[in-house]
Amino acid sequence: MDIAQTIDTAVKIVGSQRRLAELLQIPESNISGFKKGRPCSYQKHAEIAAAAGMEEEARHILIQGMADSLRDDLEHEAQAKAGLLAMLKAFPISSYENQN
């Protein structure tokens, strides 16, 4: 799920974009900015999911973010990345959009 999808799903769960911002203790304009393409760290992306109770999604976002930060040209990082991606593949996430 990309950040815009995560925000849309989180807003459906918590009731409004304003409420989501309150839960995160950030300005609502930050949420709008993320949806419009302002850079959002994978940690903040996961925090948005977790604030809406999407814990499984939050964990996957963190693991994917860690994998994406690793380099393919360094053997030890490439192996760690492969391991993280294998974990994600072995434990697919539920579809929150279909549940809510």
- Residue ranges per domain, the chain? 3-93
Is 50 exceeded by the pLDDT of residue 40? yes
Q: According to the model, what pLDDT value does residue 1 have?
A: 87
Distance CA 62, CA 1 (A): 12
pTM of the model: 0.86
Q: Are 63 and 90 in contact (CB under 8 A)?
A: no
Question: What is the residue whose two structure tokens read 């393409």?
Answer: 37
Is 70 exceeded by the pLDDT of residue 3? yes
Q: Percentage of residues in the chain with pLDDT exceeding 70? A: 93
The continuous run of DSSP H or E covering 83 comes out as helix 75-90
Using one digit for the tens of pLDDT, what is the confidence trace for 17-39?
Answer: 999 999 999 999 999 999 999 99
Question: What is the residue whose two structure tokens read 């959002």?
Answer: 40
